Amino acid sequence: MKYEMKGNYFDGRYNFSQTKGPEGVEKYISRECPSDTSNILWELPVDYTHVEPILASSVSGFKFWRKISIEEKINFLKRYQEQLISKKDQIAQAISFESGKPLWEAIGETNSVIGKVDITINDSLPRISNKVFPEIMAGTTGHIFYKPLGPSFIIGPFNFPCHLANTQILSALIAGNSIILKPSEKTAYSAQLMIDCFHEAGFPKGVVNLVQGDGEIAKRILKDKRVRAVFFTGSKEVGVDIVKNTHHDFSKLVALELGGKNPAIVHKDANIDLALEELIKGAFLTTGQRCTSTSLVAIHRSLHQEFISRFHDIAKKIVVDHSVEFENEPFMGPLIDKRSLDTYLVFMGMAKREGIEEVMRGKRLERKHEGYYVSPSIHLAEKFDENSHFLMNEIFGPNCTFIPYDEIDEAIHIANATEYGLASCVFTKDKEVFDYCVDEVESGLINLNRSTCGASPKLPFGGIKNSGNHHPMAVAAIDSCSYQMASLEVIDDTASGFDNVKGISID
């Protein structure tokens, strides 16, 4: 196998299970490379007996970590950053092999992981700095103290296996929490490399913990009362399950970053060349497997025929190949696994059954290596139909569907019609049109003349409706990593007596 798995990480070391039987190793997980399914990357056991020591480790780590100074915490994070830099090529390659993401894109993700340390220290940390209010009342000073929550459970996604989890890990740590990372079982090795960096940076025992495994092992940890925060990035369906398993425990903060059916509006005065460039990237980067991928394009009727024709011409030129060992450097790699491939093809058939015009057919592709390769797809719907499963559901694959409109309010209706509200964008030269969309479109992010795909780490990142539960990530992730304690402090502690207190009679 290509990679060596070390097991679960707790008490400052890796612990690889050797146990058997109903209370020990009940199953093994193996990972094939989606770019070459004959290449088995790794195999690891799922050990449910490790749940208890992992939780105990995180509690012990929290008790120590919460008391050390912020300067010491920053020094640890800087040492972690140094280790990331030393392993950046190794991490990028692992991301590519496990996720199918092209190597150039994985290098970009790795650089984001490294850069996030500085952003967390310089931009996130000030959001939870203690505050003082002199003379908030007569003779009284007011304070707000930001205090850590406790052991924090981070359930990571496969599409950005290091970047998204890293954001939550760093925010939790600098706020004073210990963490348990449970990565996607599809990208377990990439996560292990990050934990290696924490270990080699000398983090104290129990502060950083790793559990590898399936949904069942995640459920056992998130339900435990010792876990005080749960961060999840993934599908709406899994997010609903997490809420079902935690809603009765008010001591837990649950932050969900879920899916999207992200709309773009191309208005009649848009810069067509810019919109083409941005929407090709928005729809097809990461093989459409981003929660912010552009799915629906409301396009002004005066533009739609020429625009779709040019969009189609560009889409046909997209190179799809092995993420690392390519003959031609790809823009798109494969989908993550067979289930995703099958789902994508089901959606293609669904569009046809619903009478939605197929401009470019999404199909399975053959390459030198057997893998989950598909072509991008383009569809045209004459109008938006809220009864259409194809138009209403997140595909999580490389699809872009165009819908013509005449008036801007029609476009806004299209943008707001689905159950999601993550990202949106508008292409126009008219700032008043954009400002109107800012007022009317229901989403957590809205961009002008830039696709829905990608966001600044220095701004909040999160959605409304079924795209999240109002705990945005990126720079704002740290807001969900602490609670606020208010305090009134009387400086002059001289007793004033009960003369001004009604209802008490003292001689």
Q: Roughly what angle, to the nearest 10 degrees, separates helices 272-284 and 304-315?
A: 50
Q: How many CA atoms lie within 13 A of 95 on its CB side?
A: 28
Contacts of 180 (CB under 8 A, 6+ apart): 54, 55, 58, 151, 152, 153, 154, 209, 210, 211, 221, 227
Query: Contact, 50 vs 211, CB < 8 A?
Result: yes
| Burial class of residue 470 (count of CB atoms within 10 Å of its CB; 0-12, 13-18, 19+) | exposed
Distances (CA, A) of 192 to 30, 109, 199, 251, 339: 15, 16, 10, 29, 24
Q: Roughly what angle, to the nearest 10 degrees, separates helices 70-86 and 163-174?
A: 160
Helix (H, G, I), strand (E, B) or coil at 485: strand
Measured between alpha carbons, how far is 66 from 444 in angstroms, rounded to an integer?
32
- Residue of 487, 486, 471, 485 whose CA lies nearest to 152: 471
Q: Which of 257, 278, 394, 410 is catalytic?
A: 257
Task: Identify whether 291 is a catalytic site residue.
Answer: yes
Output 459-464 pairs: Cβ under 8 A, ≥24 positions apart: 461/257, 462/257, 462/422, 463/257, 463/258, 463/260, 463/420, 463/421, 463/422, 463/423, 464/421
Strands of 272-312, DSSP E: 294-300
Distances (CA, A) of 293 to 43, 189, 442: 31, 25, 16
Task: Identify whether 257 is a catalytic site residue.
Answer: yes
Measured between alpha carbons, how far is 245 from 253 in angstroms, rounded to an integer?
13
Q: Which of 33, 291, 437, 481 is catalytic?
A: 291
Measured between alpha carbons, how far is 89 from 110 in angstroms, rounded to an integer?
8
Q: What are phi and psi of 131, to 5 degrees?
A: -125, 145
Query: Contact, 254 vs 242, CB < 8 A?
Result: yes
Q: What is the DSSP string of 415-445?
A: HHSSSEESEEEEE-S-HHHHHHHHHH---SE
Contacts of 416 (CB under 8 A, 6+ apart): 440, 441, 442
Residue type, 297: V
Distances (CA, A) of 41 to 13, 156, 446: 23, 19, 39
> Which residues are designated catalytic?
257, 291
